[in-house]
Amino acid sequence: MTVVTTSRKPLPEVRSLSRDLAFAIGGEYITRGKAGMGDLFSLDESIVIVSKSGPLFLIQVFSDVEPVAEISVKSFAVEKRAGEITRGLFVSDRPVYEALKDQLNVVFAGETLSEHRIVFDGTQRKRYTLKVVP
């Protein structure tokens, strides 16, 4: 199971995004606190860290201590989900899909989403749309 966490002192929006990302991929959200990378890798070999760096949100994916993907997100929107919940990430950006396909529950949806997007369903009828930096 993938562990999803945040930077050490996250903004509330980063924490909420991380929790719902964990829910969407079937992972486990862990509050980071003072835990270092070694502490995180002792929990699982697959780690996702969500943080905010300046104007961008960063999603870093690690597998067996090695970084496998770093996704820069310009912004994200949260709207009320209509209909049934769908698990997994729906990605319209081919390089992002290729980086994540062996690590997370991800589907290429380039035909149905506008370019450079990641869409997933969170808890409490939330649907996230992330705008990825190409």
Give me the number of domains the chain comprises: 1
The domain that holds 116 is classified in CATH as 3.40.50.10480
| DSSP category for residue 13 | H
Structure tokens at 131: 């705008």
The yes-or-no verdict on residue 110 having pLDDT over 90 is: no
| pLDDT of 91 above 90 | yes
Mean pLDDT (whole number) for 82-107: 94
Q: Is the per-residue pLDDT at 48 higher than 90?
A: yes
Residue 1, pLDDT > 90, answer no
Q: Give CB contacts under 8 A, 24+ apart, made by 102-108.
A: 102/68, 103/2, 103/46, 103/61, 103/63, 103/68, 103/69, 104/2, 104/25, 104/27, 104/48, 104/61, 105/24, 105/25, 105/26
What's residue 111's pLDDT? Answer: 84
Band of pLDDT at residue 44, cut at 50, 70 and 90 = very high
The residue type of 13 is E
Beta strands (DSSP E) in 16-112 are 28-29, 46-53, 56-63, 66-80, 89-91, 106-108
Task: Give the distance from CA 24 to its chain's centroid.
Answer: 9
Q: Which tokens go with 123?
A: 């808890």
Residue 134 has a pLDDT of: 87
d(CA 57, CA 133): 10
Owning domain of residue 96 = 3-132
Q: Tokens 């994540």 identify what position? A: 100
